[in-house]
């Protein structure tokens, strides 16, 4: 498994993402842009990148804070709120990361997907709303709201979001608004609602210390399988 840190610059800020490529695979293959949860691009998301790479994808796990470093809770939330207010900013960072992925020699640049976790899922959805040339977008416990719902008309990808039914930060009203946004734009979309799961259900480090935030193994396993099923649909077998 080849892994490499790759830097890219947006508006004067240097970001550091993580590329994973299985060198035992041959030929051009699909690429997946992976956006981590809000705190940072840590070992969990790098492990997801390697896992996908082992299945035959070229994977670039992006950084959206700069320098590939974690932020403390306060500065992180301020930065994420700024992205929510002006999603064009996070779209620009994601678009640059997508360029890095497309430039890899192992890539079939006609076969691109984006996936993300928590705010990373929001990032993947905003990239889709920008009209990026993506075949599939998958959001795991991702925030669904946007201040630019009119941009859903630009979506070319098939959309899958996987949400915990008990997620306190993605309430029923937000799910309904997303459904209406996608339907109005005639997007090919689906939402998997996971009973018994809250927020961050893919993260084994979440022990339930915060109400509504806990790892949920069945939802973690089923959501990964649902992502691979969509990838198989749009790309063919890996």
The per-residue pLDDT for range 4-53, each reduced to its tens digit, is: 999 999 999 999 999 999 999 889 999 999 999 988 889 999 999 999 99
pLDDT, one tens digit per residue, over 105-121 is 999 999 999 999 999 99
**pLDDT of 2:** 95
| Crossing angle (nearest 10°) for helices 87-102 and 119-129 | 80
Q: Which residues are CB-neighbours of 171 under 8 A, at least 6 positions away?
A: none
Domains of the chain: 2-235 (3.40.50.1820)
The pLDDT value given to residue 40: 83
pLDDT of residue 76: 81
Beta partners for 6?
A: 17
pLDDT at 68: 67
Residue 79 — very low, low, confident or very high, per pLDDT cuts 50/70/90? confident
Identify which of 237, 196, 233 has the alpha carbon closest to the alpha carbon of residue 218: 196
pLDDT confidence of 187, banded at 50, 70, 90? very high
Task: DSSP letter for 64, please.
Answer: S
Contact assessment for residue 45 and residue 53, using Cβ atoms and an 8 Å cutoff: no
95 vs 128: CA distance, rounded Å: 10
pLDDT at 205: 94
CA distance 203 to 211: 15
Please state the separation of Cα 28 from the chain's center in Å: 22
Cβ neighbour number for residue 215 with a 10 Å cutoff: 17
Task: For the chain, give percent helix, strand, coil, nearest 5.
Answer: 40, 25, 35
The string of pLDDT tens digits covering residues 129-182 is: 999 999 999 999 999 999 999 999 999 999 999 999 999 999 999 999 999 999
Query: Are 142 and 118 a contacting pair, CB within 8 Å?
Result: yes
pLDDT tens digits, 204-225: 999 988 899 999 999 999 999 9
Continuous segment of H or E residues that includes residue 94: helix 87-102
Task: Return phi, psi of residue 35, to 5°.
Answer: -110, 125
Taking alpha carbons only, the member of 30, 23, 20 closest to residue 230 is 30
Residue 121: its pLDDT value, please? 97
Confidence of residue 77 (pLDDT cuts 50, 70, 90): confident
- 221: its two tokens: 């396993």
pTM: 0.96
Looking at the predicted structure, is the pLDDT value of residue 230 above 80?
yes
The distance of Cα 20 from the centroid of its chain, to the nearest Å, equals: 16
Q: What is the DSSP letter of 18?
A: E
């Amino acid at each position: 498994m080849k892994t490499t840190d790759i830097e890219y610059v947006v508006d004067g800020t240097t970001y550091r993402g993580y590329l994973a490529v299985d060198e035992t695979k041959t030929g051009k293959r699909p690429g997946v842009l992976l956006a981590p949860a809000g705190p940072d691009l840590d070992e969990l998301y790098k492990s997801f990148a390697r896992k996908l790479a082992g299945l035959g994808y070229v994977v670039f796990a992006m950084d959206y804070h700069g320098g590939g470093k974690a932020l403390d809770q306060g500065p992180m939330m301020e930065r994420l709120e700024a992205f929510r207010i002006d999603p064009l900013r996070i779209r620009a960072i994601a678009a640059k990361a997508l360029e890095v992925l497309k430039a890899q020699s192992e890539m079939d640049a006609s076969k691109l997907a984006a996936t993300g976790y928590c705010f990373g899922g929001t990032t993947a959805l905003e990239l889709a709303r920008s009209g990026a040339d993506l075949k599939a977008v998958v959001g795991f416990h991702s925030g669904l709201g946007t201040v630019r719902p009119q941009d859903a008309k630009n979506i070319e990808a098939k959309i899958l979001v996987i949400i915990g039914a008990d997620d306190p930060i993605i309430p029923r009203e937000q799910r309904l608004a997303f459904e209406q946004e996608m339907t109005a734009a005639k997007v090919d979309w689906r939402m998997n609602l996971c009973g018994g799961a809250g927020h961050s259900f893919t993260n084994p480090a979440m022990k339930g210390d915060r109400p509504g935030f806990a790892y949920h193994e069945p939802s973690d396993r089923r959501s990964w399988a649902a992502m691979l099923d969509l990838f198989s649909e749009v790309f063919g077998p890996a």
